[in-house]
Chain A
Amino acid sequence: MSVNDTAAALPAADGEALPSRDRLPRQAVRFGAVALLWLAAAGVTALWPDADEWERTGEFASLLAVAAGILAVAASLAAPLTAAPGGTARPAPRSRLSHAAGRLADSMPWLAVLALALIGWEVLTAKLNLLPRPFFAPPQALLEVYLDDWPRLLDCFAASLTLLATGYAIGSLLGIVTGVAIGWSRAVGYWVHPVLRLIGPLPATAWLPIAFFAFPTSWSASVFLIALASGVPVTILTWSGVAGVNSAYYDIARTLGASPRFLVTKVAVPAAMPHVFVGLFMGLGASFAVLVVAEMLGVKSGIGWYLQWAQGWAAYANMYAALLVMALVCSGLVTLLFRVRDRLLAWQKGMLKW
């Protein structure tokens, strides 16, 4: 069976009335063209000799070729699925596959631009040597870092994530507790609010010199700084969330026999959750910044330290390689936070999508 058969069987031979006949080749052509672009990137990398010797040119070209191959296979699988709606054989797996195919089709323009950018980068650096070295490394130099220096990179990311998780967990937890306490108790608000107003706007990095002096290890100092950076926005937003809870919610619970503890844990905290998540998001961003600065200045491991170390040795490829992974990791952490939020706040309508 083919789409052409169906088209022939239909009485109206008008091209517009038969989108499937028209869309199948066009979709396939688009997918194919993008695959060809990636193949072109592989070709340029492999066949055009480097201006200087680069170690991993061959591997990089192979990687591009593999990407082109994957795209070609995906294209040949996906094109008919996105083009011909309505099931003939197996509807259930088909609809799932065509969903994935639709997403792939959506990312085609990006994949095309990415291939072109890689070609441009490759030509300007490795092939023509037009950009000043060592500041501009070719893509195969990054690949070289991933292939040769991955144990150290992995160590650094593990160290960074441990530090970040420790500081962020302490900061968020203390932030939520403090925020609820300020929002709930007049006495706590009286004493903590002025302190928060004074210290809150101060960037956590301003505490660096004192922290490294006051704490026994630079690691514990960094935990303190990250906790401070993430804790302040969490505190303020939790507080504003608790303060903004509709007082009728409390009246309802009180007339139904709720204890003060119930009012805090089952009314104030859930009602404030949307605000708390804004604070957690802001705190996460702040904690990334403090993490890198703290590692650059004090801690002898972690991704900030790696960046600093790479720059010291003029190993710019290592720096870019680390930055790229770091961007992916940070973005992944934010995505994770938003996923948790979407799950916990499923009751809200019209949420911002990350």
Chain B
Amino acid sequence: MVALETTVTGPAGTAPRAAGMAIDVRAVSHRFELHGAPLPVLDGVELRVEPGELVALLGPSGCGKSTLLRLIAGLEPPSSGRILADGRPIGGPDPSRVVVFQDPTLYPWRTVRDNVALGLEARGLLRSQGRRVEEALALVGLTGFAKAYPHQLSGGMAQRAALARALVNDPRLLVLDEPLGKLDSLTRLAMQSELVELWRSSGFTGLLVTHDIEEALFMATRVIVFSERPARIKADLPVDRPYPRHRGDPVLTELRHRILELLGLAETW
């Protein structure tokens, strides 16, 4: 696999990687206004993510996990509490914290290459660092599709392109909001392994929202289990297993059982 070079230019061959970012979520609560009535979605969330971790946020659908990601991405400010990135409060979106959404949301009027180039173009770096676009495309296996338009891609390819669009910015935090949620199960299993490989070779911190317990256990170093809305942290379970993992690993099976219990679904075991 090709490693992405960082914006920091070092001596040849020693291109330093961007280190992962530390995230501190301190007493964050958030509510929306729905038909004039406040709708609390996050309730006193406390979370510390160490640099280089890959943390899965697991919970019932609609519980507020994705809202937490939007707050961490800086797309919205929290109603109360503070979120710190490397000790500094988050004031807005920043290319060091990139989001991959459940829908690839590629721009249909741009080719795959131009979609991937979006971040560099937006920051005026396309001219000097355009070659990173090709590297990112190679990284996700889309080199042959640079000139294709999004409507010509399959779901998995589109999500790979979205991933390349994030990775080309060399993020220190990659926020994944159910990135595999809409893919067919085979593509999904394959991309879980690819994502883990990317994370292990790149060194960024990863935050993965998912409602697939197996996916969380297969990929993450830690699984945070959320309650129903408004979301509170119910459990913080380290997954201390080496990579590459095996889906049949009895330790993962045991953890899976515990998580199902926490989510009130133990009787289905």
Contact = CB atoms under 8 A, between A and B. Distances in A.
Contacts of B151: 347, 349
Interface stretch (A170-178, A249-257, A298-306): A249-257
Interface in B86-137: 92-95, 97-99, 101, 103, 105, 107-110, 118-119, 121-123
Interface in B131-159: 149-151
Nearest to B152: A349
Contact of B122 (A253, A273, A348): A253
Contact of B75 (A255, A257, A347, A349): A255
B75 A252 contact: no
Contact of A255 (B97, B108, B109): B97
Contacts of B119: 256-257
A246 B75 contact: no
Nearest to A273: B109
Interface residues of B, number: 27
A255 B74 contact: yes
Contacts of A326: none
Contacts of B105: 246, 248-249, 252
A267 interface: yes
A246 B101 CA distance: 13
A349 B108 CA distance: 10
B73 interface: yes
Interface in B37-83: 73-75
Contacts of A347: 108-110, 149-151
A255 to B, nearest CB: 4
B221 interface: no
Interface in A250-288: 251-259, 262, 266-267, 270-271, 273
A259 B107 CA distance: 17
Judged by DSSP, the binding face of A is helix
Contact of B95 (A251, A256, A348, A349): A256
B109 A257 contact: no
Contact of B121 (A255, A266, A345, A348): A266
Most buried by B among A254, A255, A347, A348: A255
B107 A257 contact: no
Interface string A307-330: 000000000000000000000000
Given A248-B101, A262-B122, A257 B108 contact: no
B169 interface: yes
A270 B106 CA distance: 13
A341 to B, nearest CB: 13
B73 A255 contact: yes
Nearest to B115: A252
Contacts of B73: 251, 255
Contact of A252 (B74, B92, B101, B149): B101
Contacts of B123: 256-257
Contacts of A273: 109
A255 B122 CA distance: 10
A266 B114 CA distance: 11
Contacts of A270: 107, 109-110
B93 A254 contact: yes
Contacts of B121: 262, 266
Contacts of A258: 118, 122
B103 A248 contact: yes
Given A248-B101, A257-B93, A348 B118 contact: no
Contacts of B107: 249, 267, 270-271
Contacts of A251: 73, 75, 99, 101
A259 B94 CA distance: 11
A249 B169 CA distance: 17
Nearest to A344: B109
B171 to A, nearest CB: 9
A267 to B, nearest CB: 7
Nearest to A350: B151
A257 B93 CA distance: 7
A266 B118 CA distance: 9
B75 A256 contact: no
A253 B118 contact: yes
Nearest to A253: B122
28 contacts: A248-B103, A249-B107, A251-B73, A251-B75, A252-B165, A253-B118, A254-B75, A254-B92, A254-B93, A255-B73, A255-B74, A255-B94, A255-B95, A255-B97, A256-B95, A256-B98, A256-B118, A256-B119, A256-B123, A257-B93, A257-B95, A257-B123, A257-B169, A270-B107, A347-B108, A347-B110, A347-B149, A348-B108
Going nearest first, the 9 A-B pairs with the smallest beta carbon separation are A256-B119, A257-B95, A258-B122, A254-B93, A255-B93, A248-B105, A257-B123, A270-B109, A347-B149
Given A256-B123, A256-B165, 10 more contacts: A252-B101, A252-B118, A253-B118, A253-B122, A255-B97, A255-B98, A257-B122, A270-B107, A273-B109, A345-B109
